[in-house]
Structure 1
Amino acid sequence: MDRSTRQAALLATAVAIPLAVIVVLLSFWRFSPDEPKAAPATSAPAPQATTPVTMTAPTLSPRATTLCRALLSQLPQALRDRAQRPVTAGTEQNAAYGDPAITLACGVPAPTFPQTDLVSLLDKVCWHDVVTPDATVLTTVDREVTIQVTVPKSYEAAGQWAIVFSNPIIETVPKLATPPAGCAGSA
């Protein structure tokens, strides 16, 4: 074999072997069976009482009744892993979730608080919160009808529980024409 033929053979081998390895690896990768995929993690409902949650039901104006019914029709069936529970009064204006119950009351009296108190804009809904020994009570201050969410102390980050209600509130309860100072970004 002459020298130029030998160099051509070596060059062909040097190119062919890496290409063959690449083809084999790609074939294994492409045609190997897929690994079984883990089932998506589902959040099992937290154990909770199923008895009705005691709530009051103040008399609502016809407009408030309409808005509260619209709001309740848009609420989720569960907050995270806390299922909705029945309420003792005002099924058209009250909702409860979990045990201890996180409650939502629509059509409550508007809160009165000093102008120096802070309000929180949570996902375009403006809330005033009051921390009690047992719960954090968040009340909307920028809506035509006032909504109150009570989050028991056993839950951390009360605002994160209330924020779940923001979209249903925005979709169903109009914003006040003149919301309080600090609520500029509410929808």
Structure 2
Amino acid sequence: MLAVAGVTTVARSHLGPALTPPPVSAGERSTCEIVTRLLPPELGGLERRTTRPTSTLTAAWGEPAVTLRCGVREPGPTEDDCYGIDGVDWVSVPVDDGAIFVTYGRRPAVEVKLPANYDSQPLAELSDALEHLPRTTTGCS
């Protein structure tokens, strides 16, 4: 019985992280599909993985996974930390197991979750793709 449980765990981790695609309008979906096609195959030296369910709105790299969801709700004015990284502004929200970064001043917004042991370098590597998101404000600077 124990061997079966181990096989199940390995099979599930091979499937990639579970990410719920956000609900988006047709226009946002189209923009997100362009952006996710432009995402790099490697991020911070981590190889891109599949997500469950497979979606054009999500992406993941490495283990533990850096995850991305396109089409999340755009943050409004906030007291949370905001950083400009290679032309893209990010609102940072610490969580128990890392940090969640959400693009600021772009629609649709993109959420990236970085596990605790990663620095913010992967955010810079996403800039080329994310600069295709239309600006809604001047950003956080």
Please indicate the TM-score interval, normalised by the length of the shorter structure.
Answer: 0.7 to 0.9
1:173 and 2:136 correspond: no
Secondary structure of 2:72's partner? coil
> What are the ranges of 5 or more consecutive residues in structure 1 without an aligned counterpart?
1-48
Shift of 1:77: 0.9
Shift of 1:68: 0.4
Matches for 1:25-104 after TM superposition, within 5 Å:
50-89=14-53, 91-104=55-68
Rounded to whole Å, the distance in 2 between the matches of 1:74 and 1:147 is 14
Query: Partner of 2:97 in structure 1?
Result: 134
Deviations 1:150-179 (A, max 9, x none): 000022x2x212111111111x21111x33
Matches for 1:155-170 after TM superposition, within 5 Å:
155=118, 157=119, 159-170=120-131
Query: Partner of 1:37 in structure 2?
Result: none
TM-score (ref. length: structure 2): 0.83
Shift of 1:50: 3.3
Query: Partner of 1:33 in structure 2?
Result: none
Rounded to whole Å, the distance in 2 between the matches of 1:137 and 1:82 is 18
Structure number with greater CO (CA < 8 Å, separation at least 6) is 2
Rounded to whole Å, the distance in 2 between the matches of 1:63 and 1:129 is 26
Secondary structure of 1:55's partner? coil
> What are the ranges of 5 or more consecutive residues in structure 2 without an aligned counterpart?
1-12
Secondary structure of 1:107's partner? strand
Q: Greater strand share, 1 or 2?
A: 2
Query: Partner of 1:143 in structure 2?
Result: 106
CA RMSD, 1 decimal: 1.6
Rounded to whole Å, the distance in 2 between the matches of 1:51 and 1:113 is 37
Rounded to whole Å, the distance in 1 between the matches of 2:30 and 2:14 is 27
TM-score (ref. length: structure 1): 0.64
Point out the structure with max Rg over C-alpha: 1
Shift of 1:59: 2.0
Kindly provide the amino acid, as one letter, of the partner of residue 56 in structure 1. Answer: T
1:121 to 63, 84, 87: 84
Rounded to whole Å, the distance in 2 between the matches of 1:100 and 1:160 is 16
Q: Greater helix share, 1 or 2?
A: 1
Rounded to whole Å, the distance in 2 between the matches of 1:69 and 1:132 is 27
